[in-house]
Amino acid sequence: PAALRRAARRVLLRNWTGASTVPSHGLYPHQWSWDSAFIAIGLRHLSVVRAQRELETLLAAQWGDGRVPHIVFNRTVPLGAYFPSPDFWRSSTAGAAAGAPADVETSGIVQPPVHALAAWLVHEADPAESARRGFLTRLYPRLAAWHGYLAGHRDLGGHGLVSMVHPWEPGMDNSPCWDGPLSRVEPAEPGSFRRADLDHGAAADRPTDLDYGRYVRLAADYRDHGYRDADTPHAFAVEDPSVNALLIASEHALAAIAGALGADPSPHLARAERLTGALVSRLWDADAGLFLCRDVRAGAPVRERSVAGLIPLIVPGLPADVADALLRTAAGEHFGLGGAVRLVPSYDLRGAAFDPSRYWRGPAWFNVNWLLERGLRQHGAPERADALRAAGLATAYASGFSEYVDPYTGQARGTRDFSWTAALALDLLA
Ligand code: DGY
């Protein structure tokens, strides 16, 4: 553990830029939204002040309508280092009507709302220092506005759940769940953009060119409608169980934050309860024993088993029969927990699209396994949680803190010295 701790700290120190942390200097040289939340959860063991700063830098780029952008661009990084770069998103001009900040360039889409959960965990690491610095007082209105944006602008299905409008938003970019909904999207011309990710990552570990053509088309459509949700056709709209579960967990955290500040927690608890009801009634599939994504445009569930469907284990008030079924599914043939795999895969081991190397089509990710570890502990499976924790730590270290791994062998995939892998290892060690 001492060598692991030292190595993880070294990654986080190297990836710190002075105000936030890059996920990786080569592949992702800016600040990413959900990365920063997971990074702050680990950074709190290294420096509470840095962990606070990580979240505050991100939230300083919040838009007037409450959205927290998925990328905050570092202006000292050359435009060609990452695609799509600020000249593609043009947030400060195209997003002006939606309240994009004028002094910083960002993307216009969002990522999963892990931030209130992260803020609460950072606060808990040193409540006295947090209070002395007024950390929660500054963050609370911003976090509340962020959740307000999701609830107010993103209930595209009309049943109280939040929709994601681009495959980059749920964070699981090329999940097989998006193959169906994406097939209706006309890809951008192959020659009209240049991928920078392939300069840093193996093509077999990354999404395909056809995926990228569709990602570009959807982002350009949103931009060309001023990033206004009411005006954008949103050809891609999905309800994702992991995004909604993270919102529920963060809404519980917001209730705790409100309580710590002497404010009224009840609106947050009420929203968490409403969302939990909608999650179960809309996305639970008792036959599959897991939550399914829903294609809002087709008006139908997506019949693929993604690990997104297990992540609701982090929801505190989940009905007991649902939680029990999720524990059985996690340990069954589709996800192999405690059996066939080292770490839980991102997608069905038995699924037709399973690929142990390609990004979110099978590899195991450390943030997902961190969430499941928490969920197992919360729902009465402490031995399974302990075993997953040990496997996560050993695999993070042996893989050089890789971005993701082959779920069977633990072989490193994607980039190395990846910040959230190091940060969450530190958190599991603590
Ligand atoms: C990427 O660039 O691959 C990211 O996942 C998009 O945010």
Ligand 1 centroid, distance to 281 Cα (angstroms): 31
d(CA 119, CA 104): 22
357's tokens: 């190397």
* 224-247 confidence digits (pLDDT tens): 999 999 999 999 999 999 999 999
Q: Which of 28, 73, 109 to mutate to test the pocket of ligand 1 (most atoms within 8 A of CB)?
A: 28
Whether the upstream peptide bond of residue 84 has omega within 30° of 0, thus cis, is: yes
* Per-residue b or e along 64-102, where b marks 16 or more CB atoms closer than 10 Å to that residue's CB: ebbbbbbbbbbeebeeebbbbbbebbbbeebbbebebbe
Mean pLDDT of the chain: 97
d(CA 170, CA 151): 16
Q: What is the mean pLDDT of residues 256-266?
A: 98
Ligand 1 centroid, distance to 268 Cα (angstroms): 31
- Name the residue at shortest CA distance from atom 7 of ligand 1: 168
Q: Which residues line ligand 1 (CB under 6 A)?
A: 70, 168, 173, 197
Ligand 1 centroid, distance to 168 Cα (angstroms): 6
* 178-199 confidence digits (pLDDT tens): 999 999 999 999 889 999 999 9
Of ligand 1's listed atoms, the one at least distance from the Cα of 173 is 5
Instruction: Tell me how crowded residue 291 is: count the other CB atoms within 10 A of its CB.
Output: 30
DSSP conformation class of 361:
S
Ligand 1 centroid, distance to 224 Cα (angstroms): 20
Please state, for a pLDDT cut of 90, what percent of the chain lies above it.
99
List active site positions: 173, 403
The predicted model scores a pTM of: 0.98
Residue 300: beta bridge partners? 295
First CA to last CA distance, the chain: 10
d(CA 170, CA 66): 18
Q: Which amino acid is at 2?
A: A
- Name the residue at shortest CA distance from atom 6 of ligand 1: 168
Q: How far is CA 423 from the centre of its chain?
A: 14
Q: What is the mean pLDDT of residues 82-111?
A: 98
* Among 172, 163, 187, 309, residue whose Cα is nearest residue 236: 163
**Torsions phi, psi of 277, nearest 5?**
-60, -45
Of ligand 1's listed atoms, the one at least distance from the Cα of 32 is 7
* 338-392 confidence digits (pLDDT tens): 999 999 999 999 999 999 999 999 999 999 999 999 999 999 999 999 999 999 9
Instruction: Name the one residue in this structure whose structure tokens are 């409008």.
Output: 165
- The sheet carrying 238-239 orders its strands as 163-164, 238-239, 294-295, 300-301
Of ligand 1's listed atoms, the one at least distance from the Cα of 27 is 2
> What pLDDT shows up at residue 417?
98
> What pLDDT shows up at residue 35?
98
DSSP element (H, E) containing 386? helix 382-398
Residues 6+ apart with CB under 8 A from 74: 17, 22, 29, 30, 31
pLDDT over threshold 90, residue 275 = yes
Residues 6+ apart with CB under 8 A from 264: 258
Of ligand 1's listed atoms, the one at least distance from the Cα of 111 is 7
Q: Which amino acid is at 208?
A: T
Tell me the CA distances in angstroms from 345 to 38, 86, 126, 351, 356, one per residue in order.
Answer: 19, 33, 34, 11, 8
pLDDT over threshold 90, residue 27 = yes
> What pLDDT shows up at residue 190?
87
Ligand 1 centroid, distance to 274 Cα (angstroms): 31
> What pLDDT shows up at residue 61?
98
d(CA 2, CA 24): 23
Residue 72: beta bridge partners? 31, 106
